[in-house]
Amino acid sequence: MVDNRADTRVSMRTPLARAKGLGPAGHGAGEWWIHRMTAVSNVPLVIAFVIIVAAVAGRPYADAVRIVSHPLVALPLLLFIVSITNHMRMGVQIIIEDYVHQKGAKIVALMANTFFAVIIAAACIFSILKIGFTAF
């Protein structure tokens, strides 16, 4: 026999959030997953970065430029910058969302965090590309 009684459970979630499968914060596990993926990708990229810095340390400027301008060195450096700055931005965003409670201050802090990460990434990427394309 089929029970025709209406479901009496009350949900605090909107119908759109239920349809999308979003959590109470308004977004799903996508950001959490990306943060974990950047953490995992940072392991080999940081190792590569340390090896590259060790290889360049103490060398004359011309040798350092030649090493960094090589595509097999420049590519891991670029990936390192993108992954590290994205991971940094997401980590600071989590802290801001958890500890800044005033809406206006939170919006300003989140915008400043994003701009800071983009500026750092852009400056580093520009530097590596400039070295790579103007190497002698």
- pLDDT above 70 for 49: yes
Please give the Cα distance from 61 to 59 (Å, whole number). Answer: 6
Tell me phi and psi for residue 135, to 5 degrees: -65, 145
Q: How far, in Å, CA of 116 to CA of 135, rounded?
A: 28
> What was the pLDDT predicted at 1?
58
Residue 27: what pLDDT? 59
Query: Residue 136: its pLDDT value, please?
Result: 57
Taking the C-alpha atoms of residue 43 and residue 66, their distance in angstroms, rounded to an integer, is 25
pLDDT tens readout for residues 8-27: 667 676 777 666 665 555 55
Which residue has tokens 């990460």?
117
pLDDT tier at 84, thresholds 50, 70, 90: very high
Domain 29-134 fold is 3 helical TM bundles of succinate and fumarate reductases (1.20.1300)
Two tokens, residue 99: 């500890």
